[in-house]
Structure 1
Amino acid sequence: MDRDTLQSALSQDVSASARAALAQLEAGADFEVFLNQTASAQQLWDIWSWRHEVMLETGVTPRPGLVEAIAGLQAAGTARVYMATVTGTRRRFTIFLSEDLTQCVACW
């Protein structure tokens, strides 16, 4: 996957996290797409919704966009997704892409 394709996928997501990740990507941030495996969005929703609960119970402030990303994973159901990262100057973004790599399912 090249930078332009990832930018296109992120540009379709109106969330603040996706916009911030896109801005970092456009500014030349490093990125990586993990194409060697996919995971079920449902499985990832199970993991991240539980982690979010634990964060709240223990007083840890979740990163911006996590709540919206969890909702995106839930909405994707059992669809397979790929993970990508964008490492910007201030933070690292976690991105889940549709199986055809054309849409951002979740970003935080």
Structure 2
Amino acid sequence: MNRDDLESALARDDSTSARAALTELRTGADFRLFHSQTASACQLWDTWSHRHQVMLDTRVTPRTGLAEAVGRLHAAGSAQVYLATITSSRRRFIVFLSEDLSRSIACM
């Protein structure tokens, strides 16, 4: 996956986090695709929904986009998902990509 492919995938996602990640990517942020393995969206939902709930229970402010990402992972069901990160000097994003890498399922 190259930068243009990731930009295209993020451009299809209308979430606030995806738009922010796309802006950072377009201004030169580093990115990395973890292409050696996929996970099912429901497995990732299980992990991230638990983390989100613990944050809420302990009154820790969840990272921007976490609640929406959890909902989108749940909606994706058993679909296989790749993870990517976008890191700039100001922020770090986690992007959940469809198995064919053509679209962002969720971003936080």
Please state which band the TM-score falls in when normalised by the shorter chain. over 0.9
Q: TM-score under structure 1 normalisation?
A: 0.98
Per-residue deviation, 1:89: 2.3
Structure 1, unpaired ranges of 5+: none
Deviation string 1:43-94 (CA, Å, 9 cap, x unpaired) is 0001110110000111110011001100110111000000000002211000
Match of 2:74 in 1: 74
Off by >6 Å, runs of 4+ in structure 1: none
After TM superposition, the structure 1 stretch with the greater mean CA deviation from structure 2, 85-94 or 1-10, is: 85-94
Aligned residues: 108
Q: Does 1:31 align with 2:51?
A: no
CA distance in 1: counterparts of 2:13 and 2:68, whole angstroms: 11
Structure 2 unmatched runs, 5+? none
Q: Distance in 2 between matches of 1:88 and 1:107?
A: 15
SS of corresponding position for 1:62: coil
Percent of aligned positions that are identical: 63
Q: CA RMSD in A?
A: 0.5
Q: Calculate the TM-score normalised by the size of structure 2.
A: 0.98
